Homo-oligomer: A and B are copies of this chain.
Amino acid sequence: MSNRRLSDFLSGTTSRRRFLREGGLAALFAGAANACKQEPSKAAVGSQATPPASGQTGGTMGPHDTSSGASALAAAQSMDAMHEKGIKSFPAKTAGLGNQLMTPRLENGVKVYELTAKKIQWETEPGHMVEAWAYNDQVPGPQIRVTSGERVKVILHNQLPESTSIHFHGLELPNAMDGVPFITQPPVKPGESFTYEFEVPNHGSHMYHSHHDAAKQVGLGLLGAFIVEPKQKTKDDTPDVDQVFILNDGAHGYTFNGKSFPATQPIVAKLGQKVRIRFMNEGMMIHPMHLHGIHMTVIAKDGWPVPAPWKCDTLNVAPGERWDVIVNCNNPGTWAFHCHILPHAESEHGMFGMVTALVVQA
């Protein structure tokens, strides 16, 4: 989620520290967390807007099927314990946080962003360290957020063992700033720097990433969000929560903003609030993103407003695409939010990879 907004938001209700100490979802949504306590009847009515008649809802035990007897039940208990452990640890703490809003320095009215590309170790889920090629030690790289018409300088320092470059995906820049080695610039060699400078053109949810040996370099983490706010903001430009949601599926596994479940971050909002989600796919596969409980209204494709917003609960996001949606949080609870290619989200060991939650606090 937009980091500046998350901290703002949480400060009014809880603290990040408490959020993590109390086991995550418990601190965010007490009702839903009951479900983790294995009390069926409470769980089933935890957050119901329309409570059913008492005793008719919730897990009511039926007679045991003799064919699925003691051994099946033991195996099921064992599997369920793994699933429960994963979900209870969500959102799990890991080292490193990507997509942090970057504050530029100002030089004569020009916003200057310095990005250093180098190899790091990155923790995608608790205890799982991978080699990443990262901008400023973050996967995704720091979030750049500017306004259309502003003058911007992006200085790339290459500390990688390969040449690299930056393509500003979606921005309609002068050709020389397009970042394609041997077509618009020479590659930026190890140890070298390169400065991109331009007036920010078309607004929308864009990206920046390597365009050299990119199948490898982007897969390893050389990517980030480049959000361009319009000069004239509309109501959709001032949501209560503004969430960047970058999908990847390369060497780091199935990730949202550089993390795999249970280390993915939930989106947190209060009942009645408006969330804007900016989906971006930096992977090699298409991911149909499914939100439970509340539909999404699609307002932009690749930064361009759609002529007529349309609704869905499953949004197909292809590599290179960006889709902006609005979620009106009118249904309280903890809503699973995952890629619906199920092997990207769940195995017999439980949920993993491309899973997070939208928590709507009553």
Contact = CB atoms under 8 A, between A and B. Distances in A.
B191 A316 contact: no
A308 B293 CA distance: 25
A40 B181 CA distance: 11
A311 B77 CA distance: 49
Given A183-B32, A292-B180, A340-B320, A175 B64 contact: no
B59 A342 contact: no
Contacts of A214: 342, 345-346
Nearest to A73: B190
Of A77, A173, A212, A319, the most chain B CB neighbours within 10 A belong to A319
A190 B347 CA distance: 19
Interface in A70-99: 72-73, 75-77, 79-80, 83-84, 87-88
B77 A182 contact: no
Contacts of A335: 175, 178
A170 to B, nearest CB: 6
A26 B213 CA distance: 23
A220 to B, nearest CB: 12
Interface residues of A, number: 134
Given A44-B176, A62-B192, 15 more contacts: A32-B175, A57-B177, A65-B159, A76-B163, A76-B189, A84-B181, A87-B182, A88-B182, A172-B331, A180-B336, A301-B312, A302-B312, A306-B310, A308-B308, A314-B320
B50 A181 contact: no
A142 interface: no
Interface string A292-325: 1111000001111011111111101011111000
A333 B178 contact: yes
Contacts of A176: 35, 43-48, 57, 333
A87 B308 CA distance: 40
Contacts of A301: 310-312
A146 interface: no
